[in-house]
Chains A and B, each alone.
Chain A
Amino acid sequence: MTKSIDCDIHPALASVKELIPFLDPYWREMEESRGTNALYMSSYPPAMPLSAGLGWKTGDPLPGADVEAVRRQVLDVGGCDAAVCNLLSGAAMVANPYYAAALCRAMNDWLAETWLAQDRRFRGSLVVPINNVPAAVEEIERRAGDYRFVQVLLYLGGETPLGRMQFWPIYEAAEKADFTIGIHPGTAYRHAPTPTGWPSFRAEDYANIPPAFEGQLMSLISEGVFQKYPKLRVVILESGVTWLPVFMWRYAKLWRGTRRETPWLDRSPDEIIRQQVFASIAPIDAADPVRGIERLCEAAGSDGMWLYASDYPHWQFDDPDPFHGLPSSLRERFATENPRSAYPRIARILNV
């Protein structure tokens, strides 16, 4: 029996109030007195069509908040044996580093109790306070023995590119415990989302996501993160993905002429990407998703990088099965083999 894995689903945190039972007394009192609202990310306002697909709506005020509905629609109807829960909450982006650390710890505890404990098929990503690296490391170490957590989730738009050395203790801790690093859209908007400033529309911020991924990948590679942490795996989530091969060509070309500035790179950047980077294929920026995937494999020189994901409940596809024309061998690869390679911690419980 195949064991397919959905690499990106989004349970929703309806309100910071849900975290109160998981906070220590100081933060509990702070929350109760401040009455912070939901800390939804600006990237995903809850009522925006992208955030909540029509077909996924369950009548809940917040799509993705109802465990039963998600279990039914993703695990049972979707037919997967494991689904990785990626929380998209702005709580990890809070400026106060202590507040961010407390909220992240509480979110991971909330996820464990509210979701992971309800069904063996749910897996989790740890959210960590990117602006409080020691606390982030502590959180990774705290959960290292809990194999329901398979990934450390980082967001696309922070204050500093992710390859920078201040973040290396996070990668060290992740590599040691075999956690995969996942990068998902979501920006703290500490910087303009483009190098030429602030677009007018949410659609425009969304359209500009692939270059932001290029910037982060380039940072991780050029700073030498993959040399320093040779077992590290990075997953690019919800990026649209068809931009990636052209970026691989361009970066390889650029590197040949600028090698001297980053001489620790022991192989071409496109090699590093083929070997240590994965990408989810929902959504896919291609008029024909099946042809798009085939070309992706050809252009990137690999079929081992691509991961199936539903991206529930985000409304990316009108067709519930956009890849129905794909050869079953490739479907198998994307839904079972590749996710296993990308997430070594998943196999510990799947017994495969």
Chain B
Amino acid sequence: MSDARFPFAGLTGPIDCDIHPGMVSLAELFPHLEGRWVDHLQAYGVHLRQTFANTMTYPRLARDTARSDAWPPGGKPPGSDLDFLREQHLDAQNIAYGILQPLRPGVASERNLSFAAALARAVNSWQVEKWFKPEPRLKGSIVVAPDDADAAIAEIEHWAGHPGFVQVALPPKSLEPLGRKRYWPIFEAAAKAGLPIGIHVSGVAGHAITASGWPSFYAEDHNSNIAAIQATAISLIFEGVTTRWPDLRFVLIEGGLGWSTALAARLDRTWVRFSSELAHLIEAPSIHLKRSFHFTTQPIEEPDRKGMLTEMLREVGIERILFASDYPHWDYDDPRYAIPGDLTSVERQAILRNNAAALYGLKL
């Protein structure tokens, strides 16, 4: 049945650049951890810069941050069951490839850095065993704890060349903006391994989530992720990371993309006005933004007026944009309906699969 709002109901084998795999419980990590760290995990849990032991400072309005229809039969947590993931998402949407972004446990923000290194290894091994091996459509991200650069480099080098991993994961909420010197050895390692950096909204850095302190509501927390993503992009450009590694690609995941046009103009204006402070930056920042960064679509902007979304996507640059669903989260975008119908079919295919295939080296 045809529906004017959903003109492209046919599926086109999208590459989904953001899927969150879950665990039935943290015990799934035990086979991948040394005994002492199993004990540590059970006794102390993950140690973050947040108010509550087992939940985020701003609790989500949806249980487990998930769509309420994403609980597998038997009541297991959303995203934790491969069969249900296949049924509800991979098969149902004819997903060609799905890129996993593990969010829990919060490895990148774990305060105990020795434990963080062990957790990183465990989460990455878990990705291989539970997901990549049985399901060739699934790829993933090398999780690291960036505040221990040596351990992060060791983790990247361990997995470099493994066909399951297509990027290194770093959080946009970190102890310092990611462009700062302490993180440069990680970029060197990623560049050497030929891997892009996937920066997914995440991280519990301990900084107030707005420049004027801590707000009250979940919606405000949600929007602070965009502030973090922008601050990260600005830092990577202004500090010189995108100059030093011009072939390294950064994927900004779940931060939206509409803000990038205004930001590009602001950065260029800033660069001119503060030229003596930024003398090391030879090219205009907007060039860096266009060259080094990709954006995933979800959560897609929804302007009132018809045609504005398409205009916005073209302004950002169709070749920069990668489709993401964010399955199984509540603000999930469906590949059939989230991308506007008035793009050309070449543009749609680029966003839905071809850009990601090129960036991540995936065969279609």
Contacts and interface: CB of A to CB of B under 8 A. Distances in A.
A–B interface present (Cβ within 8 A): yes
Contacts of B230: 208, 210-211
24 contacts: A158-B212, A164-B216, A187-B211, A192-B208, A194-B177, A196-B174, A196-B228, A197-B177, A199-B177, A200-B179, A203-B274, A207-B234, A207-B263, A210-B230, A210-B262, A243-B263, A246-B258, A247-B259, A250-B301, A257-B61, A258-B222, A283-B269, A285-B262, A301-B304
Contact of A158 (B177, B213, B215): B213
Nearest to A154: B212
Interface string B47-61: 000000000000001
Contacts of A315: 273
B256 interface: yes
Interface stretch (A77-85, A217-225, A229-237): A217-225
Contacts of B299: 253
Nearest to A49: B273
Contact of B265 (A156, A192, A211, A286): A286
A268 to B, nearest CB: 10
A254 B180 contact: no
A338 interface: no
Given A201-B238, A240-B266, A285-B265, A258 B217 contact: yes
A204 B203 CA distance: 21
A156 B211 contact: yes
Interface string A251-291: 11111011011100000000000000000000101110000
Shortest 10 CB-CB contacts between residues of A and residues of B = A215-B210, A211-B227, A203-B274, A194-B231, A212-B211, A246-B258, A285-B266, A242-B262, A191-B208, A285-B265
B330 A257 contact: yes
Dominant secondary structure at the A interface: mixed
A296 B203 CA distance: 33
B116 interface: no
A196 B238 contact: no
Interface string B171-194: 011111111100000000000000
A157 interface: yes
Contacts of A211: 210-211, 226-227, 230-231
Given A159-B212, A212-B211, A285 B205 contact: no
A118 to B, nearest CB: 31
A187 to B, nearest CB: 6
Contacts of A283: 269
A127 B21 CA distance: 51
Interface string A8-45: 00000000000000000000000000000000000000
A292 B178 CA distance: 31
Contact of B256 (A158, A250, A299): A250
A304 interface: no
Given A156-B212, A210-B230, A211-B226, 16 more contacts: A49-B276, A161-B213, A162-B212, A191-B210, A195-B205, A196-B174, A196-B228, A204-B234, A207-B238, A207-B266, A208-B231, A214-B226, A219-B216, A243-B263, A262-B217, A286-B265
A150 B273 CA distance: 31
Q: Which of B61, B205, B239, B262 gathers most chain A CB within 10 Å?
A: B262
Given A196-B178, A215-B210, A250-B301, A203 B218 contact: no
Contact of B212 (A191, A204, A245): A191
A163 B179 CA distance: 32
Given A161-B212, A250-B256, A214 B274 contact: no
Contacts of A190: 213
B271 interface: yes
Q: Which of A161, A223, A251, A287 gathers most chain B CB within 10 Å?
A: A161
A287 B268 contact: yes
A195 B259 contact: no
Q: Which of B173, B175, B180, B207 gathers most chain A CB within 10 Å?
A: B207
B224 interface: yes
B223 interface: yes
Given A161-B215, A187-B211, A211-B230, A196 B220 contact: no
A285 B209 CA distance: 24
B219 A195 contact: no
B223 A254 contact: yes
A251 B267 CA distance: 23
A99 interface: no
Interface in A127-171: 156-164
A214 B330 CA distance: 23
A201 B210 CA distance: 19
Given A208-B211, A261-B61, A197 B176 contact: yes
A67 interface: no
A204 to B, nearest CB: 5
A249 interface: yes
Given A250-B256, A261-B217, A210 B177 contact: no
A216 interface: yes
A215 B234 contact: no
B301 A195 contact: no
A98 interface: no
A218 B219 contact: yes
A272 to B, nearest CB: 14
Given A215-B212, A250-B226, A285-B262, A196 B205 contact: yes
Contacts of A214: 223, 226-227
Contacts of A258: 61, 217-219, 222
Interface in B262-308: 262-263, 265-271, 273-274, 276-278, 299, 301-305, 308
A242 B268 CA distance: 14
A159 B213 contact: yes
Nearest to A206: B270
B214 interface: yes
A3 interface: no
Contacts of A251: 219, 223
Contacts of B175: 197
B211 A215 contact: yes
